[in-house]
Each structure stands twice: as structure tokens, then as C-alpha cells.
Amino acid sequence: MKKSAPSITEESVPQAPESEQAILSACLDSDQAILEAAALIGIEDFHSPAHRKTFKAILDLHGKRRTVDPITLKVELTEAGELETVGGAAFIGRLVDAPCGRASVREHAEAIREKARKRRLMEKGLSYVAACRNGHTAAELTEAGAELYREALAVDPEAARRCKTVDTLLSDYSESVSSPKLRKVRTGLWSLDDATDGIAPGEVLTIVARPQVGKSAIACQMIVNGAAEGVPAVFFSLEMPREQALERLMQAAMGLTRHQVEGLGKSGFKGLSPTQLAALESIRRCIAIVDRGKSSIADLDASMHEAAAILGRQPRLAVIDFLGLLGSGARNVALYQRVSEASIDVKSFAKRHHVAVILLSQAGRDHDEARSEGADHLSIDAARDSGQVEENADFLMTLWRPELRSTLNTEERAAKRGQLKGHLVKNRRGPLPRLHFQLDAPTLRIHDVAAGEEA
């Protein structure tokens, strides 16, 4: 006697009942929601029979160019003899009252589609188990296994991005190079951008410096410069509270001191010049700040989805401040190993979310106390001393500030004030130039200067 496939309980079946209700509720309120939902999911993607029948009725009404609302839906279901089977007028009333929450129609549809794929995978998996028990031939099992694997790939949204044919890649490449603004993110610091040609999705620019040199300041300047060009970004502030991160972004965007920003905040941001108003609007529209404290890469994954939801589009740039507070998930391991594993996670994060990443990393203390002040040139060895940061970066820039040298006299310090030196010590695209920036300490604004032209 052949054995049947193992049974599963209703509770164990993958399903998204809240999203199914939210989609139907949205469809009763908007023709645009119907079009968007129909483009993403089908009738069979709904798990609930009542929801499947209701979605079919909505699509039928829309196809007949009739108004879709609770009254017409009730009539359509009645004429089809399905009103009582879905739960009657009370069921339609519950749909009207169903909360859609903050998630969009697309997000609810994607949740429904994902659960439907998993249900199909579960069904095929159970059928495969039954086939193994029922004495099928090796060839039959191989074919059934291949079908199961194909279904598993459909459940994994990353699979299509990880493995592509050259034919598909040629088309993607042609499209991306034809629209460079959609492909690479530029930092707005021309000397760095000239050397790197911008940061492409999946690439990581790691910035290494001693404490208090200006890592966060230059990262804020880069993300603000991107916002001015309309680049949606997320700032993972693992060290600073979000209010301080916001202050720094506003300083960099508007060229104001911290006290001036506080004053504007107290006035409700009144009295801004047109230029300041445009700068504030760009960061308001384009930047999401995530304040998580010490986090794992899984936390950052979740926050990327949250940021996409509140920005209304997928971030193209992510700034992580800083690597030392990013946990690798490993316990009881040395700092060097933990930082190394976390930097590997960041590279995977960049590829997984198809986002350009700016990662801040702190250089380890030097045996020579004077060299730990942050005033001396940093070589690539400074990154290596803190962990395998270099290996997982596409670009690696070190920073130092000559004015931090404790042995300078007043005149020497004044001559070097604001000088911020950089060295691109790793560049997958070639040149390794020395870089010269000017840091305005009161406003934390940073800009390029030509060699020899520092203030």
C-alpha cells in the first residue's frame, strides 16, 4: 500500500491574512490599488478561499469598467452565488474596516506572494517525500527534485540576483551605464570621485582614521552631498544619538554652527534663506536616520526595509558609523576577528541590498603614543591592524589632521587649522592619490582644496 504525503495543519501553512485583508480593503478604496495589486499577485496567491473569491470579484468588476466599492462588490458576489460562502455582508464590512497600516499595497502584495511561494514549495516538498516513500524510480525522483529546487529558487528573492546569464547581464549593464546617475553614487568630493568614478551598488568605501579626526564629519558631508543630488540614503548611527546625527547633517547641509542649528530648532526652523531651505528640504526628503546602538547585520537588514518604507524608495547609499559597534554574531572572540567578520558582513549587506556603502572604521592605537594623536599619515597597515577591513573594501581611504599634533606651537597650529588629509590606499579602479580637504570645525563642513592651497 502506498503511503501518502505527510499531513500539515492549517496553522503551519504559510499565510499572510492581515496583508490579504489589507489588499482587499485598499482595492475597495482605490482603482490604483487594484491595478498595482493585479500586477503583483494573482487570485491563487491568496490563501483564504473567501479572499480568493473576493479578489476575483473585484477584478471582474474592474474588468467590466464598473465602480468597485462595498455595494457593487456585494452585488457581484451575490450574482455569482458566493456572498454567503465568503461570509456575507458582515465579511465585506470587516474588509472596509480592515486597517492597512503603514505598509504600502506593494509591501502587502509582496508578503502575500512570498507566502504563496512557500506554500507551493511546501506542497511540492511533501509530494517529493511521498514519491520517495512510494517507490518511484531514481530518474523520476531526480526530475521531481529538480522541480522542487526550481520552486525553492522562486521563494528566494536573492537567487535571481546571485545567478544570471551573460545575456541578462549584458542587458542590465547596457541600461546601467546608459544611466550613470542610477548606477553609481558620487560623494561630492571631486578629488575622491575622480579617483573612484563613484561608488557602485554593492561596493564599499571604508574610511579609516584615529578618534576625533573627522570620520563622521566627512561621512555626513558625503551623505548630504548625495541628498542634494536626490540620492536616497540611510544613516546608521550606531554611536551618536539620532538627534546629534541630525544636527551634524543640518550643519553640513546649511553651513551652520551647532548653536545656530539649535536656535533654528527653537524657532521652528523659521527665517531660513532660500538656499538653506532647499538644503534642509533635500535631507528631509532623502535621508533616514537609524539609531540602534550596537547592532548585528540582521538589524541593519531590517532597518533597510524600514528606511525604504518611510522614504518611499530603495536607498542607494548607506552610511555605517561605525564598524566597531557592528556585531558579527560571534561570541567570545578577539576584537580583531570580530571586526574582520563584521566587515565581511558589510560587504554581503552591500551586495544583498544593491546599495553603495560608506563604512567608518577606527584605526587601532599605535605603540608610539604620538602617532595615535591622528596627526600623522595613515598607511594601509592601520586598517590591517584593526582587522581584515582592507580585504572587504572596494575603496579604502585613510584620514589624518596635522593640527592635532600636540607638539605644535600656536602659530604652527594656526597654519594647519582645518587641514584634513586623506590617502586612497586601496582603489579597485586604479589610482591611489593623496587627497586634500578643508574642515570648517564650527560648521563641520568639508570641501576639496587643491594641493598647496590649504587655508
What is the predicted pLDDT for the residue at 271? Answer: 85
What SS3 class is residue 80?
coil
Q: How many residues does the chain have?
A: 455
Helix (H) or strand (E) holding 257: none
Q: What is the CATH number of domain 10-159?
A: 1.10.860.10
Q: What are the domain boundaries of the chain?
A: 10-159, 181-448
What percent of the chain stands above pLDDT 90?
50
CA-CA distance, 322 to 320, in Å (whole number)?
Answer: 5
Phi, psi angles (nearest 5°) of residue 434: -80, 140
**What digits encode the pLDDT tens for the residues 261-274?**
999 999 998 888 99
Question: Which whole number is the average pLDDT over 28-40?
Answer: 87
pLDDT of 370 above 90? no
Question: Which whole number is the average pLDDT over 285-306?
Answer: 85
pTM (two decimals): 0.65
Q: How confident is the model at residue 123 (pLDDT cuts 50, 70, 90)?
A: confident
Q: Strands 317-321 and 356-362: what pairing?
A: parallel
CB 207 within 8 A of CB 399: yes
User: Measuring CA to CA, which residue among 133, 87, 129, 115 is closest to residue 18?
Assistant: 115
pLDDT of 171 above 80? no
Helices (H) and strands (E) in the chain, counts: 20, 11
User: Does 89 or 168 have the greater pLDDT score?
Assistant: 89
pLDDT of 103 above 80? no
Of 93-107, 297-311, 343-357, which has the strongest mean pLDDT? 343-357
Q: How confident is the model at residue 52 (pLDDT cuts 50, 70, 90)?
A: very high
Q: Which residues are paired to 448 by β-bridges?
A: 437
Look up residue 284 and give its three cell numbers: 528631509
Classify residue 199 as exposed, middle or buried by CB count within 10 Å of its CB (0-12, 13-18, 19+).
buried
Q: What is the CATH number of domain 181-448?
A: 3.40.50.300
User: From its phi and psi, is residue 100 left (phi > 0), alpha (psi between -120 and 50) or beta?
Assistant: alpha
The torsion angle over the Cα atoms of residues 23, 26, 32 and 38, rounded to 10 degrees, is 20
User: Does 102 or 168 have the greater pLDDT score?
Assistant: 168
Q: How confident is the model at residue 322 (pLDDT cuts 50, 70, 90)?
A: confident
**CA 172 to chain centroid:** 20
Instruction: Please give the mean pLDDT across all residues of the chain.
Output: 85
Give yes or no for a cis peptide into 322 (omega within 30° of 0): yes
User: Does 191 or 386 have the greater pLDDT score?
Assistant: 191
Report how far apart, in Å, the C-alpha atoms of 117 and of each of 41, 112, 146, 155, 207 are: 11, 9, 16, 5, 41
Position 76: which residue type? E
Question: Which whole number is the average pLDDT over 75-87?
Answer: 93
What is the predicted pLDDT for the residue at 2? Answer: 47
Spell out where 126-220 has E strands: 204-209
